């Protein structure tokens, strides 16, 4: 008799305990999987955050400022590589005067000072002086003189800072035609 009771008890126990045990075993795999899936978007967002001043970006970025200007129109900025950009604009006909416009913002996301070089010229000789200026230093850096001679100019950008670069066009005589201005912008080196 005890063996029949034992067998009956084992049968009832297997009917009740076995499904519960299988459910617990399944939960041991399902709960960690759900937890990892729910945390994944949060960890992706945390990688982009600037936590306690730790900056994970290690590049210098150049972005177009934009805006409207009566002389400097049809601006375009193309990224050639991580360290090279091409800027172009149409310089419209104008009276004898000096014109200036913010064109690009350079953001240094590294922990070292960076040097950025500029080389630009007009498609036609316009007898205009073309300069670069920055928002933190009003010193004019000549790109092209009134005889068409071109110059390479460099601007230093401190770590974790940004600089707005202005393009200035100066001419002594009125210009009756428009011309294309093209400029190469390159991150030269760490200082």
Q: What is the pLDDT of residues 88-124, one digit of tens each?
A: 999 888 888 889 899 999 999 888 899 999 999 988 8
Instruction: In whole angstroms, give the CA distance from residue 78 to residue 89.
Output: 12
Q: Mean pLDDT of all residues in the chain?
A: 84
Question: In terms of DSSP bridges, do strands 60-64 and 97-108 run parallel, antiparallel, or are they unpaired?
Answer: antiparallel
Do you know the residue count of the chain?
191
Gyration radius (Cα) of the chain, Å: 33
CB atoms near residue 152 (< 10 Å)? 13
CATH of domain 60-190: 2.60.120
Instruction: In whole angstroms, give the CA distance from residue 37 to residue 34.
Output: 5
pTM above 0.85, yes or no: no
Check: CB of residue 168 under 8 Å from CB of residue 130.
Answer: yes
Q: How confident is the chain (191 residues) per 10-residue block, as mean pLDDT?
A: 77 81 84 75 54 61 88 91 91 88 92 92 87 85 90 91 92 87 87 50
């Amino acid at each position: 008799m005890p063996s029949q009771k034992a067998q009956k008890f084992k049968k009832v126990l297997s009917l009740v305990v076995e499904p519960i045990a299988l459910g617990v075993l399944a939960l041991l795999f399902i709960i960690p999987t759900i937890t990892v899936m729910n945390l994944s978007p949060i960890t992706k967002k945390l990688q982009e955050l600037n936590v306690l001043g730790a900056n994970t970006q290690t590049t210098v970025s150049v972005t177009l400022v934009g805006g409207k200007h009566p002389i400097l129109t049809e601006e375009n900025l193309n990224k050639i590589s991580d360290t090279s950009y091409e800027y172009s604009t149409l310089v419209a006909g104008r009276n004898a005067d000096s014109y200036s416009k913010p064109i690009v913002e350079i953001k240094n996301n590294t922990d070292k000072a960076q040097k950025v070089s500029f080389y630009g010229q007009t498609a036609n000789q316009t007898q205009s002086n073309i300069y670069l200026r920055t928002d933190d230093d009003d010193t004019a850096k000549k790109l092209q003189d009134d005889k068409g001679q071109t110059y390479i100019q460099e601007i230093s950008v401190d770590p974790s800072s940004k600089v707005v670069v202005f393009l200035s066009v100066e001419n002594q005589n009125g210009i009756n035609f428009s011309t294309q201005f093209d400029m190469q912008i390159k991150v030269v080196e760490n200082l």
